[in-house]
Amino acid sequence: MTSQGARGRRFEGELTPEAVDLNASVDFDKRLLPEDVAGSIAHARMLGRQGIISAEDAERIASGLEEVKRRFERGELSWDPALEDVHMNVEARLTESIGDAGSRLHTGRSRNDQISTDLRLYSRNSAEKLSALIGDLRRALLDRAERYVDAFMPGYTHLQRAQPIRVGHHFLAYDAMLRRDQGRLADAARRAGECPLGAGALAATTYPIDREGVAADLGFEGVTRNSLDAAGDRDFAVELVAAIALCQTHLSRLGEEIVLWVSQEFSFATLGEGYCSGSSIMPQKVNPDVAELIRGKTGRVTGHWVSLMTVLKGLPLAYNKDLQETQEPLFDAVDTLKTSLLVARGMVESLEMNTERLRRAVGEGYLVATELADYLVTKGRPFRRAHDAAGALVRRAQAEGLELEELSLEALRAEDSAFGEDIYEWLDVANAVDRRDVVGGPARARILAEIERSRRELNGS
């Protein structure tokens, strides 16, 4: 192979230096070295099995590729941008090292089906790693949920205190989101599970290749069914990055809540110092930068999804070099979520809830007003009427500067004669929460059951 890279002797002139800069992808696709080498070894062995090249050449190529990989990893070989990409760099080094046999590797394939394979392998592998990291974060959330199962806090709508819940229930909400994220990642990985090798540049190949054998060797579930589509398809990257963006969005909600909770205004929690930074001018500041950054990274990751969609939009079949532009967004989305998940897990583990402050917050703001209405319903009142009476009582309590449980039985009965002494039990926060004893509700037993259920599921996977 010459410094003309993949261009060969059709060309006389060199690529201009600016064009080399624009064209070369090796700076970022060199991270596909393990996938590229795995794909090439499977391809070479198949060529050998099928008698397309000799069995000796196939083995020479396989061991040569392992050697080239090791030498790149140790920094003994350097990447050459004139050779454009990871594929040409590896092949050039292979041929340098094993001679003629190396130039037989590219028989019956193209860089188009090659990169499509590499990226699918990378995506499947990344989805699995991300899912494991999500699992770790979920475990940390479940531990917090269990630890704070007996603590109460205000549940919010519109960021207004709404009804009391157990703190554990709040953590479980994130567990539920992350569980769906794992489902989406698994789904994206499953659809990336068809091996495109054999699609060639666009119109397959004339050699008697064994596509299924290569696919099985590489751990794919099957093979792609249309060579034009396979060479130009990056749907799997779009799906993976979409799943990543949504997961990052979930982390941004968690990040935002942590930012709120550790503010002086809320004072609901404190974060470990390993997750906070100070100010260069205000010595008293302890800022939740890490939570803010996790929140902020969401813009970047969602941007990657938009980049992918925009690159693909309007592309004619089959391969176009635009597709090279799908790599960096994909890689960065994976990297960003990986780091965010690791940090989020540590942050959650370091989170200490201020249970006294939370308990006080539950006691202020008429959070048990719904109980008044529900109580009246048990006495046969229609819900709308009961809701109206409870509203009037909140108004009265507010005017008198009292909480609901401080209203006298006479005051309550003046609004509705159905109120009896037992209403005060209903207004007790723990009772109010534990009466919400339905699947997915905040009652103590339900929370413990969900923690158990999630843990079992995580251990099974």
Task: Return the active site residues.
Answer: 158, 279
- Tally of CB atoms within 10 A around 54: 13
Nearer to ligand ARG, 318 or 433 (CB): 318
Question: Minimum CB separation from ligand ARG for residue 17, in Å?
Answer: 18
Question: Minimum CB separation from ligand ARG for residue 119, in Å?
Answer: 8
Six token digits for residue 80:
């050459």
Residues in the chain: 461
The residues pairing with 126 across neighbouring beta strands, listed in sequence order, are none
Nearer to ligand ARG, 115 or 251 (CB): 115
Nearer to ligand ARG, 4 or 339 (CB): 4
Nearer to ligand ARG, 332 or 450 (CB): 332
Question: Which residue stretches of 262-326 are H helix?
Answer: 289-312
Binding footprint of ligand ARG on the chain (CB under 6 A): 25, 29, 85, 111-112, 115, 319, 321, 323-324
Nearer to ligand ARG, 88 or 172 (CB): 88
The C-alpha atoms of residue 186 and residue 190 are separated, in whole angstroms, by 6
The C-alpha atoms of residue 201 and residue 117 are separated, in whole angstroms, by 12
Question: Minimum CB separation from ligand ARG for residue 216, in Å?
Answer: 24
The C-alpha atoms of residue 24 and residue 334 are separated, in whole angstroms, by 22
Question: Minimum CB separation from ligand ARG for residue 187, in Å?
Answer: 25
Question: Minimum CB separation from ligand ARG for residue 327, in Å?
Answer: 6
Q: Which residues contact 270 (CB under 8 A, 6 or more apart)?
A: 262, 351, 352, 354
Render 378-435 in DSSP notation, one character per residue. Answer: HTT--HHHHHHHHHHHHHHHHHHT--GGGS-HHHHHHH-TT--TTHHHHHSHHHHHHT
CA nearest 244: which of 309, 329, 312, 346? 329
Cβ–Cβ under 8 Å, residues 214 and 44: no
